[in-house]
Amino acid sequence: METITKDFNHIQTAHCENGVATSLLRYHGLDFMSEPLVFGLGVGLFYIHIPFMKINHGPAISFRTMPGEIFKRASRSLGIKIARKKFRNPVAAQTFLDQKITEGTPIGCQVGVFHLTYFPREYRFHFNAHNLIVYGKEEGRYLISDPVMETVTSLSPAELEDVRFARGPLAPRGHVYFPVNVPTITDAQLRKAIQIALRKNAWWMTQVRVPFIGSTGFNYTAKQIRKWRNKLGAKQAGLNLGQIVRMQEEIGTGGGGFRFIYAAFLEQAAERLQDDRLSRLSEQITRSGDLLRASAVRMAAIYKGRNTEQQHFEEVADGFDEIGALEKATFLELYKMKF
């Protein structure tokens, strides 16, 4: 039986997990939900440079928390239960999906990007933590709301199976998720959840005593960048910087984009909590996003072979040190803030 989930509204957002969470929660009646609010409640802002891991032969760096954590934390903060299920058998996975669609339930899906046919070819690479919503089925094709796309699209059953059972790191294994028992959220509950989320994010960015995690992680990266040209040679050092640019600007919204989303969350938090201090901190996080974008331009010039001297690596490292100092000061102030 083919059905279409009724009254589902597609929302385009900057980041897939934020978008799926926003759309699903709004579908279940939380009309106040927005991408910045989901990201903030999900304690999404982060930085980590994992020294013992490589991705595509380059440094393993992330500007956000682990995939899946944003929706999980945001839902938990509001007392919302999320049902999750993975599968070994693609047939069982499709049967379950069809059942939920028939019930009128839009479903969040973790998928791989490489075989996602509606993505432009230049954006398809082996990344298995993309998120989209399947909200119906029509003429044998699944109706897809992908938050990073302007409009809804569709996939055949075979195409959807390919991306739901993509292989490699973070293999989705047919992972689906959806809210259940969404309660009414009062203004008081939302304000309390915002306060707790602000402190948690500040803790992660300033209180973890590991040098490559949080705001100090930027300084750790800066130290590595200063060494790379002499240690690895100009070519590999440039490739490493290219990898950072890719992690920063192409996967999700990247470093700068996530800072801008969090800055928007601080503005919304300032309004809901009636606290102008948060508006000032929002300006500082926006400044961090600007610095990250400027850093990406410098790194891209090195990667493309236009600037290859040690001084150019030093300039990139100086930029990361500046970002680290700015975010440390900002989140320390937030961590100490009393509401």
Give pLDDT tens digits for 266-324: 999 999 999 999 999 999 999 999 999 999 999 999 999 999 899 999 999 999 999 99
Q: What is the mean pLDDT of the chain?
A: 93
Say if residue 207 is in the same domain as residue 312: yes
pLDDT tens string 137-146: 998 999 999 9
pLDDT for res 20: 97
151 within domain boundaries: yes
pLDDT for res 251: 58
Q: Which domain holds residue 260?
A: 187-336
Which 8-state DSSP code applies to residue 184? P
* Number of domains composing the chain: 2
Say if residue 207 is in the same domain as residue 120: no
Say if residue 272 is in the same domain as residue 309: yes
Contact criterion met (CB below 8 Å) for 15 and 148? yes
Contact criterion met (CB below 8 Å) for 148 and 12? yes
Say if residue 124 is in the same domain as residue 93: yes
pLDDT for res 54: 85
Burial of 200-235, coded b for 16+ CB within 10 Å and e otherwise, reads bbbebbbebeeebbbbbbbbbbbebbbebbeeeebe
263 within domain boundaries: yes
Residue 255 banded pLDDT, cuts 50, 70, 90: low
- Residues near 91 by beta carbon (within 8 Å), at least 6 away in sequence: none
Q: Judge if pTM exceeds 0.85.
A: yes
Say if residue 21 is in the same domain as residue 165: yes
Say if residue 228 is in the same domain as residue 165: no
CA distance 290 to 98: 44
Say if residue 247 is in the same domain as residue 281: yes
Candidate from 57-61, 99-103, 301-305 with smallest mean pLDDT: 57-61
- Of the candidates 130, 211, 194, the one whose C-alpha atom is nearest the C-alpha of residue 168 is 130
Say if residue 173 is in the same domain as residue 318: no
Strand partners, 83: 178
328 within domain boundaries: yes
203 within domain boundaries: yes
Burial of 65-102, coded b for 16+ CB within 10 Å and e otherwise, reads bebbebbbbbbebbebebeebebeebeebbeebbebbe
